[in-house]
Amino acid sequence: MSETTAAPLVLPAKPRGAWKGPTIALVIVAVTVVMCLPGIGIGVDLGAIGRNWQNGADKIVKLLVPDWSFFPRTIPALVETLQMAVIATAVGAFVALPLSFWAARSTNPNASARVVVRGILNVVRSVPDLLYAAVLVAMVGVGALPGMLALLLFNVGIIVKLVSEAIDTNDAGPLEAGRAVGATQTQINRTLALPDAWPAFANQTLYVFELNVRASTVLGLVGAGGLGLLIDAVRTFYRYDQLSLIILEILVIVLVIDVVSDAIRRRLV
């Protein structure tokens, strides 16, 4: 009885394009290194950290000891920050929902109108919210109103971009079926596109609400109300212990919003 010889092991051929991933990673690393070089890039001086770290050591120690007696004075500014975020998110979402359908290819077959809407929103989105706040403070004065308007513009640009892209990735079959039976584009968007886009719209609205809470604290540095005004005041007098308390409050609010938003997202999926 003859013995059967085992077939030699043959390694499978590498899939095509396997080199692309490592090559792209190497290119990114090389470009990053070049951009950090002096003369060519921004000239990152890591040695400056070692030479100057003691300048901020005492400030870090003060940040580790919050001034809890300062808490009552932060409540009005904290409430104003939340009010700014809620109002800007609600109004921004209301404005952004129809614009999202006008900016999406599958829900707006009119190419000219779609290009105009996207072009305007690109301009709106390209301007930093801090610059919006600075200009609006000069126009309407110091307070919460310029902050809300700046957040509103910021929200519309972000929500429309993300939701319109989500609409374009959805299955276009039901929309084509709606056109085939003679439905108008408004009817198609309301009865067919909106239910599919609703989870993405709600998700992005919750996302910009989280961003608004953080952004509103920065906008106050240029006079746009909220905790930012208080941060600027305590920073001017080098009260890092009071600044630490404000940072802790912002952290707690962001964590609470994140937990609530996550629970809402799970219900929407």
- Dist CA 225 CA 55 (whole Å): 31
Residue 170 DSSP code: S
Supply the CATH number for residue 141's domain: 1.10.3720.10
Q: How many domains does the chain have?
A: 2
147 and 216 within one domain: yes
Which pLDDT does position 106 carry in this prediction? Answer: 80
> What are the pLDDT digits (tens) for 28-60?
888 888 877 776 767 666 677 677 777 777 777
Full domain range(s) for residue 149:
67-268
Those residues with Cβ within 8 angstroms of residue 201's Cβ, 6 or more apart along the chain or in another chain? 93, 97, 100, 159, 163
Residue 140 is assigned to a structural domain of this protein: yes
Q: Is the model's pLDDT at 19 over the cut of 70?
A: no
In the three-class reduction of DSSP (H, G, I as helix; E, B as strand; rest coil), residue 19 is classed as coil
Query: How far is CA 35 from each of CA 8, 28, 39, 57, 244, rounded to the nearest angstrom?
Result: 50, 11, 9, 29, 34
Which pLDDT does position 257 carry in this prediction? Answer: 85
> What are the pLDDT digits (tens) for 134-157?
888 888 887 788 888 888 888 888
Residue 138 is assigned to a structural domain of this protein: yes
31 and 119 within one domain: no
Q: Is the model's pLDDT at 268 over the cut of 70?
A: no
56 and 40 within one domain: yes
The whole-chain average pLDDT of the chain stands at: 80
Residue 11 is assigned to a structural domain of this protein: no
Residue range 115-123: mean pLDDT, rounded = 88
Predicted TM-score (pTM) of the model is: 0.75
